[in-house]
Amino acid sequence: MIAARTLAALGALSGFVGVAAGAFGAHALRARLTPELLAVFETGARYQMYHALALFGAAWMADRWPLGQPAWAGVCFVVGTVLFSGSLYALALTGQRWLGAITPLGGVAFLVGWLLLAWAALARAS
């Protein structure tokens, strides 16, 4: 299973990319994208940041509780970030609307990750 330190490192790297994407969107893309596509890009950066922080929560839980769910939640957050945020970044930069069909798959991965964290917390409380 994926180690807690790996989840924390992935969270830090994802946070780095999220901040860089946000700055890129705010400064370099503002004049180049339509307001609609800029909002799409910013949504990708925002959700990437949320789930970078969620990776730290999953790492913390995985380090303290000997359950598999927190580590799997972290995997779901990474997959979700690639699919959700990545597809939104690509859609905004290319204008290819079909990329929007990938975004919900990332959203489902995020949801599964959150449910896994809830399951781990409830299993720990028992």
Strand, helix or coil for residue 1:
coil
Whether residue 95 is predicted with pLDDT greater than 90 in this model: the reply is yes
Angle at the Cα of 71 from the Cα atoms of 6 and 13, rounded to 5 degrees: 35
Question: Mean per-residue pLDDT for 82-98?
Answer: 97
Decide if 11 contacts 61 (C-beta within 8 A).
no
Reported as a single tens digit per residue, the pLDDT across 42-66 is 999 999 999 999 999 999 999 998 7
Can you give the pLDDT at residue 124? 76
Reported residue count of the chain is 126
Closest CA to 36 of 107, 88, 85: 88
Give pTM, 2 decimals. Answer: 0.95
Per-domain residue ranges for the chain? Answer: 4-125
